[in-house]
Chains A and B, each alone.
Chain A
Amino acid sequence: MSDPRPWFQIEERGVLWGMRLVLAVYRLLGRRLCLWLIKPAVLYFWLTNPGARRASRDYLARLATWAPHTGLRGNRRDSLRHFQAFGATMIDKLSAWRGEVALDTVDVIGRDTLIKVLDSGRGAVLMGAHLGNMEVCRALSQLRPGVRLTVLVHTHHAEKFNRLLSEVSGDASLSLIQVSSLNPATAIVLQQRIDAGELVAIMGDRVPLSGTPRTTTVPFLGAPAPFPQGPFILASLLRCPVLSLFCVRRQQRFEIHFARLTERVRLPRHERQAALARYVGAFAAELERHCLGAPLQWFNFYDFWHQHETPASYSVDTERERP
C-alpha cells in the first residue's frame, strides 16, 4: 500500500480509498489473502495508536479478571489479536455488503422472535452493539425478501458510506443514517420506516462525543460503565418492540442473536431515570453475555469505563466515529 495511512483510519478519503482497494483485492483474490494483506496495516495501526491499544488491553484485562474461562490475559499478544479480529471484521463487512454472506452460513438464534416481528407488519428497533459485525444481518433478506434494515451511526461519513454501499451491493436493503442528535425530524423519518415494517438498528454501546450526552451507569464486566440513554429514548418515541441484536463470527460461520428486550419502551415521567436504568441495565447484561462468548469481537477502542472523566485523553477522536 502506497498510502501510509491505515485504510481503516476513519479519515473520509482514506476510508473510501482504502475500502475500494481492499474491495478490489477481495474481488480478485478472496477473503483469505485479503486477511493476510491487511495484517501489516493492522499492526501499523496497533503500533501507532497507544490510546486504542491501552483501551483494548484494559478491556481484555477486565475480561481476564471477570471471566477467566475466556483464557485471556490482557497482554500485548491478546491486544494484537483483538485488533486483527477488527481487521477481519472489515473484510466480513465488505462481503456482507456484497450480499455474499449466504443464509446457510448464518445461524439465527431467536429466529422465531424475529419472524414474529416481521409477521406483525410493523417494524422494530434492534438494539445492537459494536460486537462483531452488524452488516451480516443483511443476509436476513434471504430469510424474508424485502426486509429492510436501517443502521443509525454517529459517523459524519454516512452519506459517503451509503454511496459506497450502493456501489458495492446494488440494492437498498441496507442503509445508514447519521444521527448526531435526537430530534423530532430524525424520529419522524425512523417512525415512517418502522410503520412500513422496517427494522432500525441502533448501537446501544456508544456515547456520542458531542454535546452533553445523557448516560446511565450500570455494571459491565465487573465495573460500573456509562451507557447512552439516547437509544432507549429514541426507542420510546418509536413505540415499537425492541429486540437485542448481536452478530458474531464463529470460525467459518456467523451467529445472529435476537432476543426480545421489551414490547415497548415506556419512560413514565415520574420515574424516568429508574426506567432507563432498567432498560440500559438489561441491555448491558445481554451485551456482557455475548462479549464473554466472543471476547475478541467487541470493538470499542477507547476507555469505555471512564469515557467522560478525562475527555482530553482521547488522542484519536475520530476513532470513536467508526461506523
Chain B
Amino acid sequence: MSDHLEQELKELIITTLDLEEIGSDDIDAGEPLFGDGLGLDSIDALELGLAISKRYDVKIDADDKTTREHFASVRALADFVRNTRA
C-alpha cells in the first residue's frame, strides 16, 4: 500500500537529512532506514525524530523500546504516525 503519508514521510526524510543524492522514489517504504538500508545513523534518528514530532505533533520517547521499531522503515513510521495521531 503506497499512500500519501508514506510519500510525505519520504520527502520529510530527504529534506530533513539533506539526502540530496536520492529522490523519494529511491526509498522503498519497507526498506530499513538505519544500518544496511538507507544507512542512517543515530544522529539522523534524532534529527528525524525531531522533524516528525514537530510536523505531526506526536510524542517520541527515546527510552521507549518500541521507538526503535517505529523507526525501522518508512512504512513502520507511517503506521506509527497514523496510530498515534488517531
Chain A residues within 8 Å of B, Cβ to Cβ: 181-185, 187-188, 191, 233, 236-237, 267, 269, 272
Contacts and interface: CB of A to CB of B under 8 A. Distances in A.
Interface in B5-39: 17-18
A187 B53 CA distance: 10
Interface string B45-72: 0110110111000011111000000000
B61 A272 contact: no
B41 interface: yes
Given A183-B49, A184-B46, A185-B60, 6 more contacts: A182-B62, A184-B49, A187-B46, A188-B53, A237-B50, A269-B18
Contacts of A185: 53, 59-62
Contact of A237 (B18, B47, B52, B62): B47
Interface of B: 17-18, 41, 43-44, 46-47, 49-50, 52-54, 59-63
A272 B43 CA distance: 9
Given A181-B62, A183-B62, A185-B60, A269 B41 contact: yes
A184 B17 CA distance: 15
A269 B49 contact: no
10 contacts: A183-B46, A184-B50, A185-B61, A187-B49, A188-B53, A188-B54, A191-B54, A236-B43, A237-B50, A269-B17
Contact of B63 (A183, A187, A237, A267): A183
A184 to B, nearest CB: 3
B44 A187 contact: no
Contacts of B41: 269, 272
Given A188-B50, A188-B53, A183 B43 contact: no
A7 B59 CA distance: 39
Given A188-B50, A188-B54, A183 B44 contact: no
Given A191-B50, A237-B50, A184 B43 contact: no
A181 B63 contact: yes
A188 B47 CA distance: 10
A125 to B, nearest CB: 15
A233 B49 contact: no
Contacts of B59: 185
A34 to B, nearest CB: 41
Given A237-B46, A237-B47, A269-B41, A184 B63 contact: no
Contacts of A236: 43
Contacts of A267: 43
Nearest to A276: B43
A184 B53 contact: yes
A126 B54 CA distance: 24
A267 B62 CA distance: 21
A267 to B, nearest CB: 6
A267 B18 CA distance: 11
Residue in A184, A191, A237 whose Cβ sees the most chain B Cβ within 10 Å: A184
A233 B50 contact: no
A233 B46 contact: yes
B36 to A, nearest CB: 15
A233 B60 contact: no
Nearest to B51: A184
A20 to B, nearest CB: 33
